[in-house]
Structures are given as structure tokens and as C-alpha cells.
Structure 1
Amino acid sequence: MSIVKRFVAGAVCPRCGEMDTIRVYRNEIREYRECVKCDYVDGQNLDGSPDPAEELATRVTKKPESVSASQPLKFVPNPGLKRRDH
């Protein structure tokens, strides 16, 4: 049996964000989607059972950078600007 891969019109890749680059195909157990631009591959079981996989690394789910203790900002009026009263 040959695998038929078909493009999904309007689909956006969750990794690179490009539109119309996703194609889907399936075998007897799983359905897959892949991006032809960034080589993203994802799959799900046809019976709906969950995969024990961890969350995918996408452009939205990047790890946050470590935040150090910050200091409050102090706003000082600019003496070169003339204040206009309304």
C-alpha cells in the first residue's frame, strides 16, 4: 500500500508559522502531519488514545529566560521639554 500525502489548505505550521506547508498522511494506526519547510513532524493515534509524549517545542512554547531580581524604574521629567497645560 502506498502512502498518499496531501496538503491541508490554510494550515499553519506550529513550529515555523508558515501557511500552506503542512501535509498529512496515515498508516493503519496513526495519522501524521509534517511541514515541508522546517521538517516538523507530529502524529496522533487514530483511535484517540493519548501519547505519553512531552509537550512539543514550538515557536510559542519556548522556555522563558531566567529573570533576575529587577529594580523599579525612576522617571525623571525632561527639563528641556516645556509643559503644556490644557
Structure 2
Amino acid sequence: MTEQPYKRPRRFIAGVVCPKCNEMDKTVMFTNDEGDEVRECVACGFHQTYAQHAAEEQAQQELATRVTPAGKTVLDEGEQPLKIIGFGTVDPKQK
């Protein structure tokens, strides 16, 4: 009697869009023989490990926006009280 190799379960991930073919709900997750988490598209065959994904994310730079422009340091001056002009306590004698 030959022993069957353990087949790892594949789980479909709802709502995920494949980065290669843009198909929704075609991505499965599983653990490969080396123990890495892998995502794979059943429509186009896209295959990526978690380590590859993390390396790509780290390589991408933060986009320069109007809020955090490139080359400018964002300074946080700490908490300060908010002063609302024209909205204060009214003295009843002034009416």
C-alpha cells in the first residue's frame, strides 16, 4: 500500500482581485512545501509568495502628495487647545 502525500487545502479568498488579470474571486491561498504562504490566481496562473509580496511592498516608495510633499518634514507640535472664535460663554447681564 503506497502512502498518499498530504495535500494542503486551498482556500478561496472572497473579494480579492488578481493583480495580473484583474479577475475577482479567482485567488486561492495555500501553504507550499517550504512552509511559505502562497497566493495563486486560478484564472491566469499568477503565483506569489508572501515573502515576494513583502519585498515588493518594501521596494515601493511612499507617494508624494499635497499632504506629505517630498522633501518636507512633517512636524507635530503636540496637542494644543482648539479656540473657536465667536462661540464663548455669554454673560446674561449683557442681553
TM-score (norm 1): 0.49
Structure with greater proportional helix content? 2
Higher RCO (CA-CA < 8 Å; seq separation 6+)? 1
TM-score (norm 2): 0.45
Structure with greater proportional strand content? 1
Q: Which has the larger radius of gyration?
A: 2
